């Protein structure tokens, strides 16, 4: 196992940022989140880089936020990337509220606004917190064995912190996605407009890099302005306001869970959540 939880590589005009916790299906602890932030900043600072590709090492893109690996570091302080104060040792709901303003909502919003085009290269599982990483990217290329899932309603929580569900999917499909918590195969995600391209896994990297290199031929400023225009259009349609509203509901759910069960996640840990996701899916078409 590598000690580097995020790998960084440049191939011509393309920076490849790779989550590197394959033994834990790239579950995102804070160490990884801050390493991702540093890698994205490095790519944005490099004038030779025109496009950024985000990918995951191993079988899966990302199994989501780390809620139970040996490297879970929710109680550890890091050098913060925003002006939010440290969450460690804060009482009650303030603990998670301050932490998630920094490492989840805040970082994801900043990554969405990177001035360079970004492509998520998704294989295998893209679950809960993994969705947030894919959704902040401008394009998503998925392998034909990839699937998407947000099962956190099982915890009594209305979706992940970067709540883009109603914008990534038709609202009625988003309700199905959340109410059932079932897998959405890559093919259906493509039909819903959430994914740009679905390809066999053995050509996933080649197809993604080809797309990145063709984008890199465009003028840098033209790409940045186009991305800014479309992101602003999404926000005018309510994307950012929706996130602000749901973030409050999300933390009300955490506080309710702790009052009722003594656990912010409603009694679920990594093992029990994984077990719940192995239940036979009843996906309709």
DSSP for 83-141?
SPPP-TT--TTHHHHHHHIIIIIIHHHHHHT-SS-EEEEE-SEEETHHHHHHHTSSEEE
The DSSP-derived string for 219-244 is -HHHHHHHHHHHHHHHHHTTHHHHHH
Q: Measure the CA–CA gap between 215 and 26, rounded to whole angstroms.
A: 27
Q: Tell me if 260 is assigned to some domain.
A: yes
Tens of pLDDT along 49-87?
999 999 999 999 999 999 989 999 999 999 999 999 999
Closest listed residue to residue 103, CA positions, set 32, 6, 25:
32
Pick from 111, 10, 18: nearest CA to 61: 18
Q: How many C-alpha atoms does 94 have within 13 Å on its Cβ side? A: 9
Q: At a CB cut-off of 8 Å and minimum separation 6, what does 24 contact?
A: 63, 66, 69, 71
On whether residue 1 sits in a domain, the answer given is no
Residue 263 confidence (pLDDT): 84
Q: Are 43 and 32 within 8 A, CB to CB?
A: no
Is pLDDT above 50 for 257?
yes
Place of tokens 């030779």: 48
Strand segments (E) across the chain: 6-11, 14-19, 51-56, 118-122, 125-127, 139-143, 147-149, 184-185, 197-199
Rg of the chain in Å (alpha carbons)? 18
Q: Is residue 277 over pLDDT 90?
A: no
Cβ contacts of 26 within 8 Å, gap of 6 or more: 19, 20, 32, 56, 57, 58, 60, 61, 62, 63, 130
Q: What is the pLDDT of residues 109-165, one digit of tens each?
A: 999 999 999 999 999 999 999 999 999 999 999 999 999 999 999 999 999 999 999
Question: What is the number of other CB atoms lying within 10 angstroms of the CB of residue 3?
Answer: 5
Dihedral angle computed from the Cα positions of residues 171, 174, 178 and 179, in that order, rounded to the nearest 10 degrees: 60
Cα–Cα distance for residue pair 223/217, rounded to 1 Å = 10
- Is 34 a member of any domain? yes
Q: Is residue 284 domain-resident? A: no
Q: Look over the chain and give the mean of its residue pLDDT values, rounded to a whole number.
A: 94
Q: Which residues contact 222 (CB under 8 A, 6 or more apart)?
A: none
Q: Flag whether 82 is in a domain.
A: yes
Residue 283 lies in a domain: no
The range of the structural domain enclosing residue 44 comes to: 6-277
Q: Crossing angle, helix 220-236 and helix 239-261, to 10 degrees?
A: 60
282 vs 63, residue with greater confidence: 63
Is there a domain that residue 282 lies in?
no
Residue 269 has pLDDT above 80, yes or no: no
**pLDDT of res. 279:** 53
For residue 111, the model assigns a pLDDT of 98
The residue-averaged pLDDT of 160-189 equals 97
pTM for this prediction: 0.93
At 2 the pLDDT is: 55
Would you say residue 68 lies in a domain? yes
What pLDDT band is residue 283 in, cutting at 50, 70 and 90?
very low
What are residue 90's phi and psi, to 5 degrees?
A: -85, 145
**Digit-coded pLDDT (tens) for 93-109:** 999 999 999 999 999 99
The domain total for the chain is 1
* pLDDT, average across residues 211-224: 98
CATH number at residue 268: 3.90.226.10
């Amino acid at each position: 196992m590598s000690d580097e939880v995020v790998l960084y590589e440049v191939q011509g005009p393309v920076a490849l940022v790779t989550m590197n916790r394959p033994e834990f299906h790239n579950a995102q602890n804070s160490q990884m989140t801050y390493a991702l932030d540093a890698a994205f900043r490095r790519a944005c600072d490099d004038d030779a880089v025109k496009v950024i590709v985000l990918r995951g090492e191993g079988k899966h893109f990302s199994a989501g936020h780390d809620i139970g690996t040996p490297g879970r570091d929710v109680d550890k302080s890091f050098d913060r990337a925003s002006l939010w104060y440290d969450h460690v040792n804060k009482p009650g709901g303030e603990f998670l509220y301050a932490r998630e303003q920094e490492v989840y909502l805040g970082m994801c919003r900043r990554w969405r606004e990177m001035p360079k085009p970004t492509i998520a290269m998704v294989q295998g599982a893209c679950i809960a917190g993994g969705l947030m990483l894919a959704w902040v990217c401008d394009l998503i290329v998925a392998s034909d064995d990839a699937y998407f899932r947000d099962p956190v309603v099982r915890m009594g929580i209305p979706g992940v912190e970067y709540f883009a569900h109603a914008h990534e999917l038709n609202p009625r499909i988003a309700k199905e996605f959340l109410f059932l918590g079932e897998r959405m195969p890559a093919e259906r995600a493509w039909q819903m407009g959430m994914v740009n391209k679905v390809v066999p896994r053995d050509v996933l990297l080649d197809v993604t890099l080809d797309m990145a290199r063709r984008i890199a031929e465009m003028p840098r400023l033209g790409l940045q302005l186009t991305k800014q225009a479309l992101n602003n259009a999404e926000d005018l349609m309510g994307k950012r306001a929706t996130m602000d509203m749901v973030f409050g509901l999300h933390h009300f759910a955490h506080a309710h869970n702790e009052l009722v069960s003594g656990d912010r996640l409603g009694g679920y840990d990594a093992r029990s959540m994984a077990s719940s996701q192995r239940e036979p899916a009843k996906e309709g078409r």
